[in-house]
Structure 1
């Protein structure tokens, strides 16, 4: 029945369209009949001499309109005569421009006398069109046009609009609605790790499902929850799981969906979103990347440049604060830039809960690997514990990428199953880039690279607090010509000794170059960048310098983004520079001393590296013996 109605409406649309096209064709055909052909004066007088001209009309003393006699006109246009016998006002045929009117009139009169003509001449200097004439000529066309557009608009409003009707819905919310009719398959079982975040979000879902369980004790529904975490940690995935678990309407959109070039559109979309949410209550609104509209107000360097964004934020604040306690609408939002959000947005009553979504730890990474490995075909030697320990600092998105990349590498090698080595190659590929086997490196440069990387490996093996060594390679990848791989310990606190050992390990590459080649190269750029930041953080952030003392110039509120003055004096700045330089020089000399004491073993390691290109932990054991310090990760490699 509904399909028949839609079909009949579509038929009526085409009928109206055809009628409109017919009237439009008649209008333009009629107009074409009255369009005169341009000629010159000599041609006119030639036609006049033949007695074919009935009359001429001089307009504004410049233009002459030439009307032919009826029998002559229809002889020249037989098709028009056959089809348009009833048109008696279409004798206008030619027009031309004149210069001197008096000269033209004299010549015209001379031709009339010479050829005995009865052609008349009229003059028109007044306005050509009156309101009445204009209406009769064009009024019907415009009336039909208006009726046609009214019909189109009514169809747009009746059908809900299409691509052509977007301009009429510009103030409407772009939120996508998920309800019981949508098959949202992601649940909390698919979100590995994030146990604390899942617990808090699960409580919100339970509140919407059975609010009496909480309200009977006097509790109120939270207005909102803000998910804060680094990119790829699973904030959006957690929100998708909420949509799959809640079994209540779920509105999903991005903060940028409120942004538009037209003034007032953002605020209008916020109002429309919350009106829809109230109608679907109980429900959840999820705003991803809320920092697009939630940035702190009044901090733009250009006055008035963010008025529209601030108006949108003001409307959002009003809507969230204006909810009644019994509306059962909760706002979830996600951002990785919480430091720039407006304080009014973060206060209780709007976002009552702040849920931190951290990078996964060792056990959580193992759970994430298990989730993503379900769909892969694995060989028996894949060690998930090893992979979890091999990926410290990796987010859930990074781990998903490793699993996918390992499958691609295995397929590239024509394997039927994914091997443990494929995962290691995938980690190398993601961290350092694609292996460049055809990169041309001169022998002397390759030797320098080998000693540089051997220096890193040697120091990391001999220092107590350096990260456990995994492998060293001189195979170029991405922008790197070589790399030493470690397994960083996952610790919550770092001591001064640990930071100094890390700096010493980073400086070991350049120190090895200086010892062996008596000069240095540009190959330590990345090492020096990391060393400088490490030493700077020791002095200015963590208060780990005796001369500066227990002082930190770090601003966790993000206010320094808009403050261009230093929080310390010029004298203190000089002391900071001196202490940073002192730390780096001390650790550089320490690295040189250790390498000089082990120069023979350093050379053996570098030569083996030149021969094999990749050396592992077992190779270093053969050269240096067992590591002289307890290694928490020994069981990983045993």
Structure 2
């Protein structure tokens, strides 16, 4: 019964102020209708017809309204005539006064009066001025009613009324835009959904533990950290970690982006920061997550002429104060994420604001396997799918890249009409993501195809002959994306790189252009991406890593990222010339080295290129048939945990 009463109450129409507006408009329209209905039902006649009726003594009176419309009233005898039967007015509302039978529009009033005098009927004529009071009143105030109605409608929308979200309208412009996740909001992401990232996961799990069991840590006199900054390349799982915290913490979780503080109005950003922390303190213990914090946390300028943004700096100042200022801010932990930690303000990065910086790096081979396991759960995959193989085939891939590979492989399998996703679909997906879509219908001349084949065969040959070059996986001369051919390698995952390793990689990259020179004695523009790669590597060797004997153990790399905005270089013109010459010497030395290698194995290069022209795609097995087994065995890679287990 109680539920039925509740449902009846809920089904009752809710009162709306718009009802009042509708009733008032209906009343005005009604008055307008009734006041103007006096001659609306009268039949229209011509002036000549009126004068005929007047001569026949059928007209009792004629009343000219506002010197324009003439209302004709017939005598009772005339109304009984057959000719006037249809002139009797029919109304839904009874009237106390007699209504006109006919009406017509007169021309000039003076001529009308003269014509009446001429037929001797001037005595039936009268002149009347009819003011439609309600109609005139309505027409005069209607614009104001419309303006007031529009103003009320706009104000209701702006104040978060119909269709407006909290904080999204003009009267709530200083309110925080943070989305609140609490016990009433189910967040399904947990730490089980976050594969890899063991160190980062331990850090954020401890933050959750702080809020759940604070006594465990404060009993020894410790303080709960005020903030944690997640730093790492794009796609490594920083936001995913925050989602897992929201799902695990079971405390109010405020989520927003750094750009949500930015507004065109002055003072809005600082106001939103204040409102955000006010809400968080009211619901403490709580967590605030600010994604892409570099939108407001960029280092402040030193003077007004440097193009600094005062409004953004005011927002940052307010954030600094709220995180660790004069007021207390207990049991509110701030988690932020960015991939541009180098440009953040030093005051924001200090201990007491962000006590912990958690670096979320690209996953290694073991972590990639775990990530594959997570993203393969919803896929209908082949039973013999080797996850170890997939994880080794995707070096340098982030978690987002792996998710993309899994999704792309499912789409490829579906496109080919398969019932399950197999190993080849994953390899095709990796090729699709790295190299782009195959363009088998691209028009290419035989001479160009031959040049591309020798170019790619040159890469394969040089890399096969060098100890530290990455081992080849496959080579293709089928156009992909913007390239006419491509070679896939499986680079070794190194934590430190030695000069000989970089030089071997540069030599292998220049193998394509060297092959064109050896075979055709000509070079082409096809080596653009190779030249770009080796130039960056050589410049890094000289100016970043200090691997050049002529420059010495110097680095001109600025980890803060401030030098890239300056107009001056951190070295002299003489040093700049020396750097340019050293870079050129390194590249030219490796180019000559590649030419020498290819000249020594010209017959095998030609044989490989002919196989490539015939099959268009060749693999590691084809190279082994031509060159034999590769002589260089790589050092076994083991993790620190595996080493501890062995020891």
Counterpart in the other structure of 1:454: 457
Task: State whether structure 2 residue 273 is matched by structure 1 residue 292.
Answer: no
Change (3 A) 1:466 1:262: same
2:341 — aligned with what? Answer: 338
Match of 2:436 in 1: 433
Matches within 5 A, 1:43-442: 161-164=161-164, 166-167=168-169, 168-298=171-301, 306-322=309-325, 327-442=330-445
- Deviation of 1:235 (Å): 0.4
CA separation of 1:69/1:615 partners in 2, compared to 1, >3 Å: closer, same or farther?
A: closer
1:599 to 1:152, Cα distance in 2 relative to 1, 3 A: closer
Whether 1:610 aligns to 2:613 is yes
Q: Select between 25-34 and 388-397 the one with higher mean Cα deviation.
A: 25-34
Counterpart Cα distance in 2 of 1:611 and 1:347: 62
Q: CA deviation at 1:136?
A: 9.7
| Whole-Å separation in 2 of the counterparts to 1:259 and 1:24 | 48
Looking at structure 1, the residues matched to 244 and 92 of structure 2 have their Cα atoms a distance apart, in angstroms, of: 76
Give the C-alpha shift of residue 174 in structure 1.
2.3
Q: Deviations over 1:435-455 (max 9, x none)?
A: 222223222211111111111
Classify 1:399/1:70 alpha carbon distance in 2 versus 1 (closer, same or farther; 3 Å). Answer: same
Q: Is the 8 A contact 1:221 1:325 kept in 2?
A: no
Q: Give 1:70 shift.
A: 9.4
Indicate the residue corresponding to 1:128 in structure 2. none
Q: CA deviation at 1:563?
A: 0.8
> Take 2:621 and 2:230, find their aligned partners in 1: how far apart are those partners?
44
Say if 1:237 and 1:618 are closer, same or farther in 2 by CA, change over 3 A.
same
How many angstroms apart in 1 are the aligned matches of 2:605 and 2:286? 65
Query: In 1, Cα distance between the equivalents of 2:357 and 2:530?
Result: 37
Superposed displacement of residue 323, structure 1: 8.0
SS in 1 for 2:576: helix
Alignment-derived partner of residue 620 in structure 1: 623
Shift of 1:66: 6.2
- Report the CA distance shift for 1:633/1:66 in structure 2 as closer, same or farther (over 3 A): farther
Does the C-alpha gap of structure 1 residues 326 and 304 become closer, same or farther in structure 2, counting only changes over 3 Å? closer
**Deviation (angstroms), 1:347:** 2.1
Question: Alignment partner for residue 558 of structure 2, among 520, 541, 555?
Answer: 555
CA distance in 1, matches of 2:409, 2:476: 20
Matched, 1:592 2:595: yes
Instruction: Answer yes or no: is 1:22 the counterpart of 2:47.
Output: no
Q: 1:583 to 1:86 in 2, by over 3 A?
A: farther
TM-score norm. by structure 2 comes to: 0.80
Question: Pairwise CA RMSD of aligned residues?
Answer: 4.4
Structure 2 unaligned spans of 5+ = 39-49, 55-60, 75-83, 98-102, 130-134, 639-647
Q: Distance in 1 between the 2:450 and 2:104 partners?
A: 92
Measured in 2, the distance between the counterparts of 1:179 and 1:231 equals: 28
Quote the offset at 1:263 in angstroms: 3.4
CA contact (8 A) 1:112 1:119 kept: no
> Which deviates the most, 509-518 or 327-336?
327-336
Relative distance call for 1:244 and 1:135 in structure 2 (3 A) is: same
What is the CA–CA distance in structure 1 between the aligned matches of 2:256 and 2:458, rounded to whole Å? Answer: 51
Query: Residues 622, 175 of structure 1: CA spacing in aligned structure 2 closer, same or farther, 3 A cutoff?
Result: same
Native 8 Å contact 2:320 2:353 kept in 1:
yes
Aligned length: 599
Change in CA separation of 1:284 and 1:3 when aligned onto 2, cut-off 3 Å: farther
The secondary structure found in structure 2 opposite 1:493 is: coil
1:10 and 2:14 correspond:
yes
- Mapped contact 1:299–1:562 kept (Cα < 8 A): no
Does the CA-based 8 Å contact 1:468-1:633 persist in structure 2?
no
Give the Cα–Cα distance (whole angstroms) in 2 for the partners of residues 339 and 69 of structure 1: 89
| C-alpha spacing 1:586/1:382, structure 2 compared with 1 (3 Å) | same
Does structure 2 retain, via aligned residues, the 8 Å contact 1:506–1:531?
A: yes
Give the alignment partner of residue 539 of structure 2, picking from 536, 540, 544. 536
- The alpha carbon displacement at 1:555 in A equals 1.2
Q: Partner of 2:77 in structure 1? A: none
Deviation at 1:84, TM superposition (A): 11
> What's the counterpart of residue 492 of structure 1?
495
Residues 70 and 3 from structure 1, CA distance in 2 versus in 1: closer, same or farther, beyond 3 angstroms? farther
Distance 1:145 1:427, change over 3 A: closer
Change (3 A) 1:108 1:345: same
- Tell me if the contact between 1:173 and 1:270 (Cα under 8 Å) persists in the aligned partners: yes
Find the aligned partners of 1:28 and 1:264 in 2 and give their Cα distance: 51
2:475 paired with 1:472: yes
8 Å CA contact 1:432, 1:477 repeated in 2:
yes
Find the counterpart in structure 2 of residue 523 from structure 1. Answer: 526
